[in-house]
Amino acid sequence: MKNFLLPLLAFSTIAIAMAACKSASINENIEKIYEVSKASPIFQDANLKKTYKNFEFSAKLRTFQNANAFLAFHTDENFSRGYKIAIDNNPNSPNWWRATGSLFGIRNIVKNFAKDGEWFELKLKVSGAEILVWIDGRLVVEYIQPQNPYRLPEFSQMKLSQGCVALQHTGGGKVEIKDLAIYELPERSDIDNQQANAIDETSDAAIRLHQEDFPVLDFHVHLKDGFTADWAFAKSRKIGINYAIAPNCGRDFPLNTAKKAQDYLDNLPADFPFLSCMQAEGREWHILFGESIRKQFAYAFTDAMTFNDLNGKRTHIWRDNEVDCPIGSEEKYMDLIVNTICKLLAEEPADVYANPMRLPSILEKDAKKYWTPERRQKVLDALVDSGKALEINMITKLPDADFIKAAKERGVKFTFGSNNKDSNFGRFEYAYEIVRGCNLTAKDIYNPKNK
């Protein structure tokens, strides 16, 4: 018996159903282009009779005028259960952390893998406890629902079961869809084995932030010490944390000229699955890399960890052998650091102040002593005046919660960053602690310009 697709719509919803068929491999493509918008509903007389458990779905879609929609599955006619995949190609979306391909509330995606006005292919596979999502052939979501999934009360039915597959338009211009195909897959007998590889959500921070619709993006990640782009993307999908990848750009680093930075940008793969940002090093970085280079990155961040010391010697404060701070000169050295921070905030064209309030080890052991209220206030005032965002570093745990609260009160935006040395870095535990303790919301997080 040949499968067929019965397209249905109620209130601007395409519900895709199939007649009963025992074959697990037959599918039917519909070549006609359907338009979906709130103004012109199609597919009348909704009839959500056919349901699916294990299946593959694919279609080509095109959004216009920053339209947004979602593909629901394992759902019902009220969309009261199951999962939703976001369709939102608007780079300026107010929900910028929920780009096309996001598994809403579970694995939200920051990177724009599709563009408004251009056709893209969406593919979904549900098999046992696993949900996979592809955009134009790129696997972007890889989620295994654990035995005890964490869900907020309002999302208690956001779980795998069996149900309808439907597309609903939710705003903006029209959505076009064509080449729809769906076919059933056999039952899985190895769900226990699948779930053995799932994230334990009873203590996972990332799923809690996803459930609260909070951007889960590590703004400060490096590919180093064997940590490759493929490895990083696999890890990102596995743990549900988006990454922004930053090369070190500055006089003392491999990317030390505008040409080398441009070569780096030109050689990024067209389907590079991360935000690409610049870590700007040294106080002359903005002279080395002009605006034409900087604007090609999603954003630029810098810190105050490289400067000329009291004797005019170039110093990287994370290298103890370069720090010349004799006994008795600690206060002067501390003033130099504070003045360096305030000067870069006032004069350098970075978007984010990173590695904040970091001190050399000789001062770090007495950080509370040297970070006096007056010095903290001076940095906070400079930060507010600059309009720059503030990184909350998840490894150094700087700045402290009191400084973050004071900055939030004055309208500062924030990023969360790791500044990792290798592949072994966290799962947003500290980020979740700060979000809770400082009452941060999605509106408090910096929105990158170019995603």
Domains within the chain, CATH numbers bracketed: 5-195 (2.60.120.560), 205-444 (3.20.20.140)
More confident residue, 180 or 131: 131
Q: Which amino acid is at 160?
A: L
3-state helix, strand, coil in the chain (%, to 5): 25, 25, 50
More confident residue, 15 or 445: 445
Please check whether residue 143 is in contact with residue 129, taking contact to mean a CB–CB distance below 8 angstroms: no
Query: Which residues does residue 86 pair with via DSSP β-bridges, in sequence order?
Result: 70
Could you tell me where the DSSP H helices lie in 139-272? 191-195, 205-211, 229-239, 258-266
Residue 165 above 60 pLDDT?
yes
Could you tell me where the DSSP H helices lie in 176-298? 191-195, 205-211, 229-239, 258-266, 285-288, 291-294
Confidence of residue 36 (pLDDT cuts 50, 70, 90): low
Distances (CA, A) of 200 to 71, 72, 158, 159, 294: 26, 25, 17, 15, 40
- Which residues in 339-437 belong to E strands, given as ranges? 352-353, 389-393, 414-417
Residue 375: alpha-carbon gap to chain centroid: 33
Among 66, 139, 140, smallest CA distance to 96 is for 66
CB-based burial, 264-287: b 16+ in 10 Å, e otherwise: beeeeeeeebbbbbbbbbbbebbe
Among 423, 437, 361, smallest CA distance to 392 is for 437
The whole-number average pLDDT for the span 62-83 is 92
Residue 139 above 60 pLDDT?
yes
The residues near 45 (Cβ < 8 Å, ≥ 6 apart) are: 8
pTM comes to 0.91
Most confident of 28-32, 40-44, 411-415, 426-430: 411-415
pLDDT for 18: 34
Residue 394 above 90 pLDDT?
yes
Give the separation between CA 73 and CA 96, rounded to whole angstroms.
Answer: 23
Q: Which amino acid is at 185?
A: L
**Which of helix, strand or coil describes residue 241?**
coil
The residues near 14 (Cβ < 8 Å, ≥ 6 apart) are: 7, 8, 34, 36, 42, 43, 166, 167, 168, 177
pLDDT for 168: 87
The residues near 138 (Cβ < 8 Å, ≥ 6 apart) are: 113, 271, 273
Residue 43 above 50 pLDDT?
no
Least confident of 3-7, 71-75, 145-149, 163-167: 3-7
The whole-number average pLDDT for the span 198-204 is 98
Among 1, 101, 114, 3, smallest CA distance to 55 is for 3
Least confident of 62-66, 133-137, 442-446: 62-66
Count the alpha carbons within 13 Å of 97 in the hemisphere toward its beta carbon: 29
Among 99, 103, 95, 154, smallest CA distance to 126 is for 103
Among 430, 428, 436, smallest CA distance to 217 is for 428
